[in-house]
Structure 1
């Protein structure tokens, strides 16, 4: 719904004369001759006549002026097409103004990286499927922690074929950086980096119902684990494993317990396979049976292997 345009020509000649005449007692009480022959009244009527004409002209904006306003909004290179109606150009300009263009908040960066960037790309290898904005971090610098004025955008892309690992290319990172550079605030330094995949291994012991086929149960259990930790369709809401979300052994218990043919589950253990930093990010939540793998905001789960044992 468009806003109604104001009527700028809402005062007549009589209105202007009467309003000016009503101010005389307040502005100059000694002026008592308000007859049309008075020189001051003649001047008021002359100014009212000129004002009425100017108001009329102000309310009648020429098409050339409107085109100039549109060019200010859409850039100096824009020109109205010969066959394009002016009202259509106005409507299109208003729609463009409503689009999210500037990157101010983290939500803006994520929206621009996933939505607007992908619309501008025809090459599927340069598309971004998910993005996470981390404020006050420079992830291009190893070991960087709090960095005022910096914003990092971690991205992941789906593999386009069996030979593609889905890792964003340096070309994609550079082009996306330039795309966001035109939209960022002047005081912000932004960085575009690939998300760090954290390889994990899941181990569990399954106790099956009598008559359950081990091969079928293992297939269903493996698929359930793989789907749950999938970076594009996993997670609690099936929209992809959230960036920085910890891995909880308790959720694996619950997930495997719902698999058809499984009576109960025991000895679940999730292991983080990358230990290059010498820090095991497993910790206990509440009790000895509820462990978690801690992830940073820019990290995402990469399920390397699932190992099941079967007990009684």
Structure 2
């Protein structure tokens, strides 16, 4: 986007006249006739005209010269980026045939009296396939003896984790798995695990078809036989086969209490769910695996049983973005002259693929184009987008795009010293139609909506009852401001699009990933390489908590940064673009509320303060994110809690290391955790007790 010219003095003719008249009233009260017929007013207007011309010229120097220089070195305002999230479409009832939700379906937030609706569009077509229960199998862990009792030989071993390849899912069937389909059909009780439940035992549920990214309901008929387990925290993990390994499913609802009563399970399956083969039965396989219980988590002493299984699809999930895709837009007709430009109808353009086609007129297809022009026999020529025309040859079909203004420009022609004309890029033939196949418009920080807010389905989708986003939308960034571009200008001139020192890597990474909240470059000790750590934008809840998966940047962002820097790093320098290591911390504190203070309010404010200070995005002493490598100490927690309104005294603070994946905690006796220079802090479920006076 071309940088706008600033106004050093925004006064105009009428404002100068009015200001002079007010000055006359204060200094010369006997002058009472201020009509335009008065000679004095005529002089005021004459001088105002002269000053207005001077102001006009002042507003164009020196700031105008400075911003023009930024344009010359290639500094353009970064366009807004679009926030993205996943939206789940729920069916009104299970359907016997696949339900299709077209690409570009609009979902929005609820419009209020003060806030307009924020509209998202789906990024691809979504197919919601039907499914039903097909088969049941069990797998004993190593040493349980159940495989031998079943009479099926094969390998036995501990079940692989969600990210590991399962050796049991092989071509020809799952070795040592026991087929329980017939037993269940005869109405018998089927034990889910071994007689002595062992971590690694698994219950396999086969569906008639795979349901990628689907929402599947399992209705289970169970009885209270799986004793010993906490029905609210059973040590179970649900997984789905993706063709190569078992991937974790998200459990939205579990009414069974760990297979101890009849109820429903609602599972969100991964998008990679693929048909597999278990006990010689092919289908979309799921499994429930018994895992090691935590220290404070009871486990099974007897196996639970299943008496009946019913399954069906109730919805599916697809990606959505805060942007609208425009397709087949005709920009205009080429005049056959160098440097011609066009503007899209819906700027700004969100960074994405921008496919531009030029269709020559019929005569040009038959005769061909002249020198310096691009024509051809093809119905439409696809042109290539470049950053500039510095390396464009006269026959290269190149164009540039200013994403902020939506301006498309073709190559110019420059007169050389000897009088010849040099073309930088081809020129579309006269009469050719210039068309954009597709582009996206929209974006901005307003798209970072909270979870559960995209509830309005615009238009109609067959058999869809409702829609929701189960995670907050992230990645939306407003367009760059002029002040920010002025700061970036000298840095761009220094780097010259080459990454040498750590600051160069950070600056160049931000050019292609403005949606990243933080970018930090760490040189490797004793090695010719650097590690670039990327922290994505995240959105906290009412208490400042940020979900752990929101701090992991999307693979596309990491690939885009790596590809951009790979062409600009020194030869031989190794580059790794990855998320930082997050050290989970939990503070367990006791505070005393002041006289008259609400204990509930103090509790909420104190938790919000801890989550906000020990935060990768908004924490630290400066409030712009916890510094990389800064140690975590209980002393800072004391200071944070003491500043909370209503806290009279901080009695005790204890610090624990926490694993944000497993939830396990380990107390730190000395109250200090040293962080590696690649690490950031992550607040994990702080616990607070408030004593009242």
Structure 2 CA distance for partners of 1:250 and 1:161, relative to 1, 3 Å: closer
The answer to whether the Cα contact below 8 Å between 2:589 and 2:689 also exists between their aligned partners in 1 is yes
Query: Which residue pairs with 2:528 in the alignment?
Result: 149
The secondary structure found in structure 1 opposite 2:686 is strand
2:522 counterpart of 1:134 = yes
Q: Which has the higher helix share?
A: 1
Structure 2 CA distance for partners of 1:255 and 1:159, relative to 1, 3 Å: closer
CA distance in 1, matches of 2:585, 2:393: 53
CA distance in 2, matches of 1:107, 1:266: 43
Q: CA deviation at 1:274?
A: 2.9
Q: Could you give the per-residue CA deviations for residues 28-48 of structure 1, whole angstroms, max 9, x where no partner exists? A: xxxxxxxxxxxxxxxxxxxxx
Q: CA deviation at 1:282?
A: 4.7
CA RMSD of aligned residues (A): 3.7
CA distance in 2, matches of 1:302, 1:96: 31
Structure 2 CA distance for partners of 1:212 and 1:78, relative to 1, 3 Å: farther
2:471 counterpart of 1:76 = no
The answer to whether the Cα contact below 8 Å between 2:654 and 2:667 also exists between their aligned partners in 1 is no
Structure 2 CA distance for partners of 1:218 and 1:95, relative to 1, 3 Å: closer
Q: How many residues align?
A: 210
Q: CA deviation at 1:118?
A: 2.7
2:690 counterpart of 1:294 = no
The secondary structure found in structure 2 opposite 1:130 is strand
Q: Could you give the per-residue CA deviations for residues 133-176 of structure 1, whole angstroms, max 9, x where no partner exists? A: 1111xxxxxxxxx4511211111102489997242233322221
Query: Which residue pairs with 2:499 in the alignment?
Result: 103
The answer to whether the Cα contact below 8 Å between 2:521 and 2:530 also exists between their aligned partners in 1 is yes
The secondary structure found in structure 2 opposite 1:190 is strand
5 Å-filtered alignment, 1:28-107, equals 75-77=390-392, 81-82=412-413, 98=493, 100=495, 101-107=497-503
5 Å-filtered alignment, 1:117-132, equals 117-118=512-513, 127-132=515-520
5 Å-filtered alignment, 1:273-288, equals 273-274=658-659, 282=668, 284=670
The answer to whether the Cα contact below 8 Å between 1:158 and 1:166 also exists between their aligned partners in 2 is yes
The answer to whether the Cα contact below 8 Å between 1:245 and 1:295 also exists between their aligned partners in 2 is yes
Q: Could you give the per-residue CA deviations for residues 92-113 of structure 1, whole angstroms, max 9, x where no partner exists? A: xx99972632111111112222
Q: CA deviation at 1:193?
A: 1.0
The secondary structure found in structure 2 opposite 1:129 is strand
Q: CA deviation at 1:74?
A: 6.5
The answer to whether the Cα contact below 8 Å between 1:281 and 1:295 also exists between their aligned partners in 2 is no
Query: Which residue pairs with 1:219 in the alignment?
Result: 604
CA distance in 2, matches of 1:98, 1:132: 20
Q: Could you give the per-residue CA deviations for residues 259-289 of structure 1, whole angstroms, max 9, x where no partner exists? A: 111111122112111399xxx79574xxxxx
Structure 1 alignment gaps of length 5 or more:
3-72, 85-93, 120-126, 137-145, 285-290
Q: CA deviation at 1:244?
A: 1.8
Q: Which has the higher strand share?
A: 2
- Aligned with 2:575 (options 166, 171, 190): 190
Structure 2 CA distance for partners of 1:306 and 1:78, relative to 1, 3 Å: farther
CA distance in 1, matches of 2:647, 2:592: 6
Q: CA deviation at 1:302?
A: 1.3
Structure 2 CA distance for partners of 1:97 and 1:170, relative to 1, 3 Å: closer
CA distance in 1, matches of 2:593, 2:615: 25
CA distance in 2, matches of 1:268, 1:132: 31
Structure 2 alignment gaps of length 5 or more:
1-61, 66-387, 395-410, 416-488, 542-546
CA distance in 1, matches of 2:656, 2:392: 57
Structure 2 CA distance for partners of 1:74 and 1:105, relative to 1, 3 Å: farther
CA distance in 2, matches of 1:252, 1:78: 62
CA distance in 2, matches of 1:281, 1:188: 40
The answer to whether the Cα contact below 8 Å between 1:247 and 1:293 also exists between their aligned partners in 2 is yes
The secondary structure found in structure 1 opposite 2:641 is helix
The secondary structure found in structure 2 opposite 1:305 is coil
Q: TM-score, normalised by structure 1?
A: 0.58
Query: Which residue pairs with 2:689 in the alignment?
Result: 309
The secondary structure found in structure 1 opposite 2:550 is coil
Q: TM-score, normalised by structure 2?
A: 0.28
- Aligned with 1:263 (options 631, 637, 648): 648
Runs of 4+ in 1 over 3 A off after TM superposition: 94-97, 159-164, 280-284
Q: Could you give the per-residue CA deviations for residues 208-267 of structure 1, whole angstroms, max 9, x where no partner exists? A: 212211001111111111111222222111111112211111111011111111111122
The secondary structure found in structure 2 opposite 1:152 is strand
The answer to whether the Cα contact below 8 Å between 2:536 and 2:550 also exists between their aligned partners in 1 is no
The secondary structure found in structure 1 opposite 2:591 is strand
